[in-house]
Amino acid sequence: MKKLLLFVIIVFIGMQFVPYNVPADVPDKEGDALQAPKEVEAILKRSCYDCHSNHTNFPWYSSVAPVSFFTKMHVKEGREHMNFSTWNSYSDEKKAKFLEKIPKAIKSKMPLPSYLLIHKDAKLTDADKKAISDWASEAAFDLE
C-alpha cells in the first residue's frame, strides 16, 4: 500500500515536468481581432474567449497536471478551430462558415459542458443566445 502511494506521488510529480505549453496571452496583430457590437463582444469574451481567442484566463489548477493537459488541449484545439483574435485574417468564405456554425454550436455543445461545470458565469442565457445569433446572421449578411 505504501509503495503504491509512493508510486502515485512520484508519477504525479513527474507529470508536472511534461512540457505542454499553450501561451495564455498572445498580443493581437493590428486589425486582426473581431470587431463586434459591445454587447455581443462582452458575451463572447465571457463565454468563448478562453478557448477561441489568444487571451485565455487560465485558472491556477490548469497549471497542475493532469488537469492542465485537458484545459490546454481544449484551448489549443479551440483556437485552431476558430480564433476571434485572428478573425480578420480569415477569408470571407471562412467567416461566413463560422457565422453559420456559431448559432448551431451554442444550441448544442458550446461552451463545452466540462468548462461550464467550473465556469458557471459562462453559461449562456436565452437572451445571450439570441444576441449572438442575431449578430451572426447580420454579420453574415454584411459579408455578402
Binding site for ligand HEC (CB under 6 A): 47-48, 50-52, 74, 77-78, 81-82, 98, 101-102, 105-106, 109-112, 115, 124
| Nearer Cβ to ligand HEC (16/114) | 114
| Nearer Cβ to ligand HEC (29/94) | 94
- Provide the 10 A C-beta neighbour count for residue 7: 10
**Shortest CB 66 distance to ligand HEC, Å:** 16
| Nearer Cβ to ligand HEC (48/140) | 48
**Shortest CB 77 distance to ligand HEC, Å:** 4
What does the buried/exposed string (b/e) look like for 43-54 if buried means 16 or more CB atoms within 10 Å of the residue's CB?
bbebbbbbbbbb
**Shortest CB 110 distance to ligand HEC, Å:** 3
**Which residue from 79, 101, 75, 100 is spatially nearest to 89, judged by alpha carbons?**
79
| Nearer Cβ to ligand HEC (36/51) | 51
**Shortest CB 117 distance to ligand HEC, Å:** 10
Q: How many residues does the chain have?
A: 144
d(CA 40, CA 43): 5
Cell of 72: 490546454
